[in-house]
Amino acid sequence: MKRTALTLIVDPIACDGHGVCAELLPERIRLDRWGFPIIEAGGIPVKLVDHARRAAESCPRLALSLVERPL
Amino acid sequence: MAAPEGIPRLLAGLNGDGRALSLDEHVNQWGPPPASMSASFIDELDRSGLRGHGGAWFPVGAKWRSVRRSITKRPIIVANGAEGEPASGKDRLLVHQLPHLVLDGAVMAAGALGASRVIVHVPGSAIPTVESSIEERRRFGVDSVDIEVVEAPDRFLAGQESAAVNTINNRNSARPSFTGLTTVRDSGVGGRPTLVQNVESLAHVALIARFGADWFRREGTPESPGTALLTVTGRWAEPQIIEIPLGIPLGHALGLRQEDARGIQGVLLGGYGGGWLTAAAALDMPLTEDAARQYGSSIGAGVVALLPSGICPLSEVSRVVTYLEGQGAGQCGPCVNGLAGLDLVMEKLAFRPSSLHGGVSTIPGLCDLVEGRGACRHPDGVARFIRSALRVFADHVELHLSRGACRGNTAPMLPVPTRPQSSQSSPLRPVVR
Ligand SMILES: Cc1cc2nc3c(=O)[nH]c(=O)nc-3n(C[C@H](O)[C@H](O)[C@H](O)COP(=O)(O)O)c2cc1C
Ligand code: SF4
Ligand code: SF4
């Protein structure tokens, strides 16, 4: 599986646990017992990049970002 | 002026009566600061190996270099003396008694980075001293940069980097921001690139600028050079502040031998975001951040607390966790929910273990759920505090689960402020060894 240097990061202050992201990208995001996203570590596989971008764009709180690598 | 020898270094200037050193006394002690600072001083800082003393032990030279360079926005320097950690007193000692050492370091940072302003971020109790020291410098025209004072609120999180910047920006006082996309080094105070540096780190900078990196490295080890201030509780009748060379065993720093371990149930290193060690391990442990991390702890801001026998450690741990839970900024879902959950199980474990169905098995999972998932590192510190307590006090956990809570002494030992935080007004007495 080819991986990119892209990862998803969540702003935990902005996130209110809607869970939209986990529905759109279950391969990389699951929800904890309170409904907040747990994002799989590591680069996103090439074939999931479009889905990841869509998940980030769909977050109602703009809490999810697709970045080159976390700071 | 000849380079001073031996230890104490920072504390060598203390005049013994608790008064702040005047500018005159300060210059008599250390000589005048270098007339100007250039960016090449950052190379000297790299060579010195100085790391930050606010808790994270990040290399100071690398941090200065990472402050964004911009022609239009000159950076801001924040001297961080908030010291939210209740068991720590060393930053208060510095700002109350050696303010010019801290101010020198901050002004040097401004010179090296071309900053336009220095902001001193300290608790209200320190403001009169710091302001009169700034006034002294103004009168003698020592500095070419403006220095201002901003009050740090009495909160555990007040000194967290982005929380300090938010307090200064008069927004969301003492609450951290999410810094995963941009840090305060890009955009902090007033949107300018900002260096937040602990006041002890700045005091070391003031001496490195005068005496050089090689001098700094004469104490400590090659990997952990220099000295550090520790606030020690439970060793002497009163909490005391000592200056030690990094790398010596903790027992040596405290004047304790391995035999003395028997009377000590556990050692808390690094404060409430640090971790517990068994006394036997702690006394032999070299005082370096790398060693402390290997032991599942951290030197953090230099807190050392010895827990004597006869006190229920689990009730101590629970009281501190309750305090830490209440000090969270209430902004991040995993932190808010996870710390509440951890507080509840730790409280049950300490005081009503029969209500703890499933024993302590749920605790590691809760720690996993908070670590790395907040906007700041507060939950990570709480998790480390709890995980290490379960390890070091495993026999007490067993006893609580099998026989019920201790009926013994549950009188509090570790300081847990009840608001308003009264301890803030009396600076701890320094001890120079
Ligand atoms: C929960 C929390 C509390 C903190 N409190 C303080 C503090 O009171 N004083 C301080 O200097 N740094 C504190 N820090 C560390 C700061 O974020 C920052 O790293 C430090 O001030 C930088 O200075 P240094 O590099 O010289 O250590 C805290 C960090 C966290 C996560
Ligand atoms: S969609 Fe956005 S707000 Fe909802 S859980 Fe995911 S990151 Fe949080
Ligand atoms: S992690 Fe906790 S303490 Fe830190 S900003 Fe989020 S809610 Fe506040």
pLDDT for position B423:
41
Instruction: Summarize the confidence of residues B213-231 as an average pLDDT.
Output: 98
Is the CB of A12 less than 8 angstroms away from the CB of B332?
yes
Least confident among A27-31, B13-17, B45-49, B169-173? B169-173
Indicate the top mutation candidate among A11, A16, A21, A39 to test ligand 2's pocket, ranked by most ligand atoms within 8 A of CB: A21
pLDDT surpassing 80 at residue B419: no
The SS3 of residue B149 is strand
Phi, psi angles (nearest 5°) of residue B56? -95, -15
What is the domain partition of chain B in residue ranges? Answer: 23-221, 313-412
pLDDT for position B408:
66
pLDDT for position B426:
44
pLDDT tens digits, B146-163: 999 999 999 999 999 999
pLDDT surpassing 90 at residue B227: yes
Which pair of structure tokens corresponds to residue B348?
């049950």
Identify the band that residue A7 occupies on the pLDDT scale cut at 50, 70 and 90. very high
Higher pLDDT, A55 or B426: A55
Identify the band that residue B425 occupies on the pLDDT scale cut at 50, 70 and 90. very low
pLDDT tens digits, B230-240: 999 999 999 99
pLDDT for position B407:
76
pLDDT for position B313:
95
DSSP class per residue in B307-373: EETTB-HHHHHHHHHHHHHHHS-S--HHHHHHHHHHHHHHHHHHH-GGG-TTTTTHHHHHHHHHTT-
| Residues B231, A31: Cα–Cα separation, whole Å | 41
Identify the band that residue B418 occupies on the pLDDT scale cut at 50, 70 and 90. confident
pLDDT for position A66:
96
* Residues of chain A contacting B179 with CB distance shorter than 8 Å: 71
Q: What's the first-to-final CA gap in chain A, in angstroms?
A: 25
pLDDT for position B171:
76
Share of chain B above pLDDT 70, in %: 96
pLDDT surpassing 90 at residue B420: no
pLDDT for position B406:
83
**Which architecture does CATH list for B313-412?**
Up-down Bundle (1.20)
Of the candidates B230, B183, B184, the residue with the CA atom closest to the CA atom of residue B87:
B230
pLDDT for position B427:
44
Helices (H) and strands (E) in chain B, counts: 17, 9
Instruction: List strands edge to edge, sheet with B76-80.
Output: B146-152, B117-123, B76-80, B194-198
pLDDT for position B13:
87
Please tell me the number of the ligand nearest to residue B159's CA: 1
Please tell me the number of the ligand nearest to residue A13's CA: 3
Instruction: Summarize the confidence of residues B336-352 as an average pLDDT.
Output: 97
pLDDT tens digits, B92-148: 999 999 999 999 999 999 999 999 999 999 999 999 999 999 999 999 999 999 999
Estimate the share of chain A in helix, then strand, then coil, as percent rounded to the nearest 5.
25, 25, 50
pLDDT tens digits, B18-73: 899 999 999 999 999 998 898 899 999 999 999 999 999 999 999 999 999 888 89
CATH topology of domain A4-70: Alpha-Beta Plaits (3.30.70)
CB pairs under 8 A between A and B: 46
Pocket of ligand 1 (CB under 6 A): B 52-56, 58, 63, 80, 82-85, 157, 159-161, 196-198, 201, 273, 376-378, 381
pLDDT for position B430:
54
| Residues B318, B385: Cα–Cα separation, whole Å | 11
* Residues of chain A contacting B182 with CB distance shorter than 8 Å: 71
Best probe of the A interface among B337, B339, B376, by most A CBs < 10 A, is B337
Instruction: Summarize the confidence of residues B285-309 as an average pLDDT.
Output: 96
> Would you say B272 and B246 are in contact if contact means Cβ atoms under 8 Å apart?
no
Q: Is the CB of B332 under 6 A from ligand 3?
A: yes
Tell me, what's the ipTM? 0.95
Which pair of structure tokens corresponds to residue A58?
């769909």
pLDDT tens digits, B73-87: 999 999 999 999 999
Cα of A12 to nearest chain B Cα, Å: 5
pLDDT surpassing 50 at residue B389: yes
A60 interfaces chain B, CB cutoff of 8 Å: no
Q: Which atom of ligand 3 is nearest to the CA of B335?
A: 2
pLDDT surpassing 70 at residue B433: no
Chain A residue with minimal CA distance to B176? Answer: A13
A5 interfaces chain B, CB cutoff of 8 Å: no
**Is the domain B23-221 a CATH 3.90.1200.10 member?**
no
pLDDT for position B378:
97
pLDDT surpassing 70 at residue B429: no
What is the domain partition of chain A in residue ranges? Answer: 4-70
User: Omega into B86 within 30° of 0, i.e. cis?
Assistant: no
Which pair of structure tokens corresponds to residue B4?
């001073």
Of the candidates B130, B57, B91, the residue with the CA atom closest to the CA atom of residue B231:
B91
Higher pLDDT, B325 or B427: B325
Of the candidates B114, B118, B127, B135, the residue with the CA atom closest to the CA atom of residue B64:
B114
- pTM (predicted TM-score): 0.95
pLDDT surpassing 50 at residue A43: yes
Identify the band that residue B381 occupies on the pLDDT scale cut at 50, 70 and 90. very high
Rounded mean pLDDT of chain B? 94
| Residues B367, B386: Cα–Cα separation, whole Å | 8
pLDDT for position B428:
52
pLDDT for position B48:
98
Instruction: Summarize the confidence of residues A45-64 as an average pLDDT.
Output: 96
User: Omega into B420 within 30° of 0, i.e. cis?
Assistant: yes
Which pair of structure tokens corresponds to residue B63?
């941090």
Indicate the top mutation candidate among A9, A54, A64, A67 to test ligand 2's pocket, ranked by most ligand atoms within 8 A of CB: A64
Is the CB of B183 less than 8 angstroms away from the CB of A71?
yes
From the number of C-beta atoms within 10 Å of its C-beta (0-12, 13-18, 19+), residue B54 rates as: buried
pLDDT for position B412:
82
